[in-house]
Amino acid sequence: MLIHRDAVEIVIQTPAKLNLFFEVLGKRSDGYHEIETLMCPITWYDTLCFRDSSSEELELECQWGLAASGGSGFAEVPRDGKNLVLRAAELVRRRTGTTQGARIRLIKRIPSAAGLGGGSSDAAAALVAGNLGWKLGLSMPELASLAAELGSDVPFFLNRGAAVCRGRGEQVEAMPGLGLMNFVVVRPPEGLATAAVYGVCRPATSPRPLEPLLDALRQGNVRQVGGLLFNRLQEAAEQLSPWIIRLGRLLADEDCLGHGMSGSGTAYFGLFRSACQARLVARRLQARGVGCVVAVRSSV
């Protein structure tokens, strides 16, 4: 996340993420799945603006920002207790005992039900904004503990750059220096519920190793990286939405280095040789009306 603070408010740019690798290792006793994933933040951002208030109220204003062509996946943003931003702010207040209020404005650009982590990223930003705006002095481990209570992906977004996440996703190991990558990301006109995808997925009997992909990234071998992209959830998602196979074929026809689904879908991405190539492909796919299409790069 990118944080700007002035005398009036805290403004945080909250990134989306892509899963370059996603393995499902088994079902846990708590109902979650044990996973191993490599997540990479990308240059597609929501914006969270935070102002502390003299009242004890938490006010949340949500709006959709300028979206890419297609506009799919931009449903009404909840403004009640279902909203992760409000839940994060309330959790900070409850755990620290503060009664301070805030006015929060959330500008959404990252589509929902896409596997891009927009809601989790916004929640992480709310934790950071509350800690700074209310001058609470919580440490990063303390914020990470709160983040894990909110959702499996939320702890990842407290860090900058790529990371390997294990457990149910809350165990985060930073992976700096993996290099710049250029992507085209498509969120088709329909989404998928994470629970539905996991319900169809069968954990690996012989888990795929992550290390070959990490080695290729460390060596800067982007072509090899493209051939090592993997998501165990993709086969399950293909059974639930025809868009997954369709987008895979479309991106394969665009001479990408590799392609795959992010998270539990339905967002699908291709890895390209350059930013110029990614922009050209994004324009072609926008013209085909396949949903919301953006050209992005990995973020550090």
Length of the chain: 300
Instruction: For residue 46, indicate whether it is catalytic.
Output: no
Catalytic option among 46, 52, 122, 153 = 153
Catalytic option among 17, 52, 108, 122 = 17
Instruction: For residue 82, indicate whether it is catalytic.
Output: no
What is the C-alpha separation between 285 and 69, in angstroms, rounded? 10
In this structure, the strands spanning 58-64 and 101-108 are parallel
In the beta sheet, which residues pair with residue 12? 3, 48
> Which residues have CB under 8 Å from 93's CB, separation 6+?
58, 99, 100, 130
**CA-based end-to-end distance of the chain:** 9
| Residue 211: CB atoms within 10 Å | 7
Reduced to 3 states, what is the DSSP secondary structure of residue 237?
A: helix
- Tell me which residues are annotated as active site: 17, 153
